[in-house]
Amino acid sequence: MVGENMIHIGIIGGTGVYDPNILENVQQDEVLTPYGSVSYKVGDFAGKSIAFIPRHGSKHSIAPHLINYQANIWAMKKIGVKIILATAAVGSLNLDMKLGDFVLIDQFIDFTKNRKSTFYEGGKRKVVHVDLTTPYCSALRKKILAVAQENGIVVHNYGTYVCTEGPRFETPAEIRMFAKFGGHLVGMTNVPEVVLAREAEMCYATIAMVTNYAAGISSQPLTYGEVFHVMNANTEKLKKVLMNTIKC
Ligand code: HPA
C-alpha cells in the first residue's frame, strides 16, 4: 500500500467516470477498512498524488443502494486524502439547469431508505451528531466555480440535491413533490457519501452534471442510455474542470 498521508486528493468518479486517465504512473492498490477492503487506483497529476475510486466499480456493476460508502470514505481517509472531488450524474427538476450543465451542489435532501449512513453507530466510535449547515466544502466549491468559469463552462453555483434510494428512477409524482420541497436535482449517491466525508473531517465537493430532465419534466420516458450519452458527450469538459481544479 502507498504510505499513509502521502495522497492528498481523492477523486470519486460517478456514472461515466470509471477511468482515471488524467493520471500518470497509475498503480492499483488495496486498503483494508473496518467495513471491508477497497481497491483504488493511485497516480500522479500536476506534481500531486491522486487516488481514484469509481463509485459504481470500474464496470458500473455496483448499484447505488449497494455501494459501500463507509468503506470508500474510510479508505480515502486512511491513505491520507484530505480533499475529495466527487462527480455525479443528476436529473434536473428545473428548466434552468440544462443538459450538460455543471452544478455545484450546496444542499441535499435525503430520501434514501436503507443505507449505512454514519461512522458513529455507538460503541467504540460513540454517538456524534455532525453539523451539516454547510454540507459541501466552500473553499473547494469556490475553486471549481472559478475554474469552470475561466473555461467558459456553464456552471450553477447552487443546487439542492434530492437523494433517492434507487436503483429505479422516480415517478413524476415524486419529482413534483421534490420540486415543491425545494429540490433542484435528483440523484442516487450523494447521500451518505457527503455525510461520511464530513464525519471524517474531509473537504468534499461534488461536480454534478445534468444528464437528463427528471421523470415528468421531460415528456419522454427516462432511460439510462440517455444518462450515459449526455455524460459521455461532456466527459472532456469534466476532465478539464477536474484537471484545472487539481492544479490550483
Ligand atoms: N434520477 C435519479 N438519479 C439520476 C437521474 C435521475 O433522473 N439522472 C442521473 N442520475
- Structure-derived torsion over alpha carbons of residues 138, 140, 141, 142, reported in degrees to the nearest 10: 90
Work out which ligand 1 atom sits closest to the CA atom of 213. Answer: 7
Q: Is the CB of 238 under 6 A from ligand 1?
A: no
How high is the pLDDT of residue 148? 97
What is the grid cell recorded at 230? 449526455
The residue-averaged pLDDT of 6-29 equals 89
How high is the pLDDT of residue 229? 93
At residue 4, does pLDDT exceed 70? no
Q: ipTM of the assembly?
A: 0.99
| pTM across the whole model | 0.95
Ligand 1 centroid vs 244 CA: distance in angstroms?
27
How high is the pLDDT of residue 2? 46
Work out which ligand 1 atom sits closest to the CA atom of 187. Answer: 3
Q: What is the mean pLDDT of the chain?
A: 94
The residue-averaged pLDDT of 110-127 equals 95
Confidence band of 5 (pLDDT split at 50, 70, 90): very low
Confidence band of 19 (pLDDT split at 50, 70, 90): confident
The residue-averaged pLDDT of 227-244 equals 93
C-alpha to C-alpha distance for 204 and 73, rounded to whole angstroms: 10
Ligand 1 centroid vs 108 CA: distance in angstroms?
14
Residue 56 counted as an annotated binding residue: yes
Residue 55 counted as an annotated binding residue: yes
Confidence band of 118 (pLDDT split at 50, 70, 90): very high
Backbone angles phi, psi at 191, to 5 degrees: -110, 125
Percentage of residues of the chain with pLDDT beyond 90: 87
Partners of 109 in the β-ladder = 162
Partners of 185 in the β-ladder = 92, 161
Residues 168-222 pLDDT 10s: 999 999 999 999 999 999 999 999 999 999 999 999 999 999 999 999 998 888 8
C-alpha to C-alpha distance for 11 and 2, rounded to whole angstroms: 16
How high is the pLDDT of residue 49? 95
3-state secondary structure of 28: strand
What is the grid cell recorded at 193? 457519501
How high is the pLDDT of residue 224? 86
- Structure-derived torsion over alpha carbons of residues 98, 104, 108, 112, reported in degrees to the nearest 10: 70
How high is the pLDDT of residue 219? 83
C-alpha to C-alpha distance for 8 and 72, rounded to whole angstroms: 15
C-alpha to C-alpha distance for 31 and 53, rounded to whole angstroms: 12
How high is the pLDDT of residue 218? 83
Confidence band of 1 (pLDDT split at 50, 70, 90): very low
How high is the pLDDT of residue 206? 98
The residue-averaged pLDDT of 23-27 equals 93
Q: Is the CB of 214 under 6 A from ligand 1?
A: yes
How high is the pLDDT of residue 209? 97
Q: Which is nearest to 185 in space by CA: 168, 162, 206, 167?
A: 162
How high is the pLDDT of residue 59? 85
How high is the pLDDT of residue 15? 84
